[in-house]
Structure 1
Amino acid sequence: MTDTRTLRRKSDNEVVCIACGQVLPRADAREYDKYGDRWDRAGKDFEYLCKPCHRDCCHQPRNGLEETLIRAEGEHADTQAFITEYYTLVSDDISTES
């Protein structure tokens, strides 16, 4: 997996959309806070979306989705391992809700 932390900013004035990879001026981008609270800015590094990708996002509550994705990513270097771990985590969450 590509480490998006190295792709977030091209410079202070340019950012990279995390969805499509487009490089655009920071002023034309939308901040994306993977924890869902972009108003609490202390100690955070934001990621960015271009306007079309931002419009395409679901703006509904994510109920722990980002935390699950981060846990699934762990040390997994390949896509299949990530998907397997994500499925395991989601399956565990579903079984504890029942």
Structure 2
Amino acid sequence: MWPSRNRTATVTCLACGDEVSRSTAREYDKYGDRWDREDKTFEHLCKDCYTDLCRQPRDELEDLLVELEAGERGQKSFLSGYISAVEDRYGTVEEES
């Protein structure tokens, strides 16, 4: 496969904002289907942020974030509402001992 001519040498990690080499970055597709590349643009994560990425299912997450006005409220207010909404919908999460 030939490399794309319009690719930049560096990309910005969507989690931490660091600029990293494209060759060391990990592609991220918020829809979870990175193999279907037709008409797509990808965001990227640096290796450290990719390693820290939660691998839990995220069905309904984006809709919940929009509903709770993520990014439009203060962090404390948002997190309080998020925890409450998640517990209402899915129950409490108990840590394993």
For the aligned pair, the TM-score class normalised by the smaller chain equals 0.5 to 0.7
In the alignment, the residues of structure 2 paired with residue 25 and residue 51 of structure 1 have an alpha-carbon distance, to the nearest angstrom, of: 11
Shift of 1:60: 2.1
Computing the radius of gyration from Cα coordinates, the structure with the larger value is 2
CA RMSD of aligned residues (A): 2.8
Q: Quick check: 1:18–1:47 contact (8 Å CA) kept in 2?
A: yes
Shift of 1:68: 2.9
Q: 5+ residue gaps in structure 2?
A: 1-6, 91-97
TM-score, normalised with respect to structure 2: 0.61
Shift of 1:36: 1.3
CA 1:69–1:45 in 2, change beyond 3 Å: closer, same or farther? Answer: farther
Note if 1:25 corresponds to 2:21. yes
The amino acid of 1:41's aligned partner reads R
Q: How many residues align?
A: 85
TM-score, normalised with respect to structure 1: 0.60
Where does residue 57 of structure 1 map in the other structure?
A: 53
Bigger mean CA deviation after superposition, 76-85 or 65-74: 76-85
Shift of 1:69: 2.6
- Higher helix proportion: 1
Shift of 1:42: 1.9
Moved segments of 4+, more than 3 Å:
70-94
Question: For each residue in 1:37-89, what CA deviation from the matched residue of structure 2 results, as whole angstroms up to 9, or x when unmatched?
Answer: 11122222211100010000111211121343345558948667866886797
In the alignment, the residues of structure 2 paired with residue 20 and residue 68 of structure 1 have an alpha-carbon distance, to the nearest angstrom, of: 22
Q: 5+ residue gaps in structure 1?
A: 1-10
